[in-house]
Amino acid sequence: MYDFQDLRMTPFSWEVRLLLLMGVTLVLGGTALHKFKKSQNRTVSSPVVFCHSALLCLWGAYCFSSLSIFWGWILFSLACCISLAYSTSQEMLPVDGRAVLITGGDSGIGHALSKYLDELGFTVFVGVLNENGPGAEALKKGCSKRTSVFQMDITDTTQIKEVQTQIAEKVQHTGLWAVINNAGVLGTPGDGELLHMKIYRQCMDVNFFGAVEVTKAFLPLIRKSRGRFVNMSSMAGAIPMELLAAYSSSKAALTMFSGVMRLELKKWGIKVALIHPAGFKTNIGGTSETWAKQEKDILENMSPDVLEVYGRDYFQSTTRSFRQILNESPTDFSPLFTDILHSILCKNPSALYTAGIFSYLWICIISYFPVSVFDYLAGKIFRSNTMPKALT
């Protein structure tokens, strides 16, 4: 316990010293809470701010009720200093017309994100697969003059270089602040043995090699602004998911690439953030006609032996089950956009964002639990009830 005799030997009475300690504590605690709320109010919901404030207050109450005045003040002040340091690192930078490049803006997340950032006041450059398509035309008509749409197939080196040259001319004075590698393809879902190699190559070309080439092409512009790269991976890039051997492999490659680049580009002041979203309803799987064409293509190119083992009904049943999961996914992109905005504007963005329902939970399960636990849960939730012909 604190010896109050020591307080009597000071020029101030112990009551004055106590009031002084309490005053300093209140100032530190109030500053920490105010700074946290001010730095987070654009990206974090009010319940998060409330929980942070409540925990800090509860910690202070515990310190002063269970410890001596001296140690209670020391520990609570330390908590306030840590909170101040964290909130300072989480400060949000102003938009100020910062320029960002988004790939894959024809539809889905990239299309909606382009509109969202345009509304917030960003200068938005959007790469699309078809500059004359309905998605590109909607962006040209619906967005402000700050948004520019470019023809950019990220598997085409020539188109990437042409867009890089055009953007470099436009951002001579403001600089390019962020590149969001969003473009991606799902490929045809199905057991890994059933997918022919062109599906694996397509997923790697778009989801991995395309993102790598865009990153390399725009690195000089990002280096000038000391900006950041935001790479859109997937929950399937962190955990194994049945029927997604091609897609998951390409996203896992992008995940590792992002981690390596985060380490290598740190010396340049460039930050790299990785997004692992859960399932959101987009048209990444294509239309019903597209699925039917893909199924027909796989079945026609499947060897007779493999087709005999699996059966036509099994393949069609599993793909339809997966389509149903996609159609039942959430349509609200706001949790994802909150994380993306934080990765773009936060003074010290996180290395990994897990947007959407259960995304972080699945990563925790596969990271901290025995593999058998993950396999059991994944089998219960994701596995189709249909079995290959040879096993029935």
Q: Taking the domains of the chain in order of start, what are their residue ranges?
A: 5-89, 99-391
The CA distances from residue 155 to 92, 129, 167, in Å, are 34, 10, 18
- How many contiguous H segments (helices) and E segments (strands) does the chain have? 16, 7
Q: For the structural domain made of 99-391, what CATH number should be given?
A: 3.40.50.720
**Does residue 125 sit in helix, strand or coil?**
strand
Query: What is residue 319's predicted lDDT score, i.e. its pLDDT?
Result: 84
Torsional class of 48: left (φ above 0), alpha (ψ -120 to 50), beta (otherwise): alpha
* pTM above threshold 0.85: no
Catalytic residues: 247
CA distances from 337 to 107, 180, 279 (A): 15, 12, 14
Alpha helices in 302-384 (DSSP H): 304-310, 312-327, 334-345, 359-368, 371-382
Q: What is the dihedral of CA 340, 346, 349, 355, to 10 degrees?
A: -30
Token pair 């893909």 in the structure block, residue = 294
Q: Which residues pair with 254 in a beta bridge?
A: none
Going by C-alpha positions, the residue among 193, 385, 160, 362 that lies closest to residue 278 is 362
**Distance between CA 121 and CA 118 in Å, rounded?**
5
Burial zone of 191 (CB within 10 Å; 0-12 exposed, 13-18 middle, 19+ buried): middle
Q: Which of 248, 281, 243 is nearest to 384 (CA)?
A: 243
Cα–Cα distance, 3 to 18 (Å, whole number): 13
Instruction: Give the model's pLDDT for residue 385.
Output: 74
Distance CA 392, CA 389 (A): 5
Instruction: Give, to the nearest 10 degrees, the angle between helix 359-368 and helix 371-382.
Output: 140
Residue 337's closest CA among 143, 100, 151, 160?
100
Predicted confidence at residue 316, as pLDDT, reads 87
* φ, ψ of residue 37 in degrees (nearest 5): -65, -40
d(CA 35, CA 84): 7
Question: Which amino acid is present at 69?
Answer: I
Q: Which amino acid is at 297?
A: D
The predicted structure's pLDDT at residue 57? 63
* Distance between CA atoms of residues 41 and 213, nearest Å: 36
* CA 307/CA 302 separation, integer angstroms: 6
pLDDT at residue number 379: 84
Measured CA to CA, the distance from residue 101 to residue 159 in angstroms comes to: 14
From first to last of its 392 residues, the chain has per-residue pLDDT tens of 444 444 444 454 555 555 655 666 566 556 655 555 554 444 444 444 445 555 556 656 656 566 666 666 666 666 666 655 555 556 899 999 899 999 999 999 999 999 999 999 999 999 999 999 999 999 999 999 999 999 999 999 999 999 999 999 999 878 899 999 999 999 889 999 999 999 999 999 999 999 999 999 999 999 999 999 999 999 999 999 999 999 999 999 999 999 999 999 999 999 999 999 988 888 887 777 888 888 888 888 889 999 999 999 988 888 888 888 888 888 889 999 999 999 999 999 999 999 887 888 899 899 999 999 999 998 887 776 788 989 88
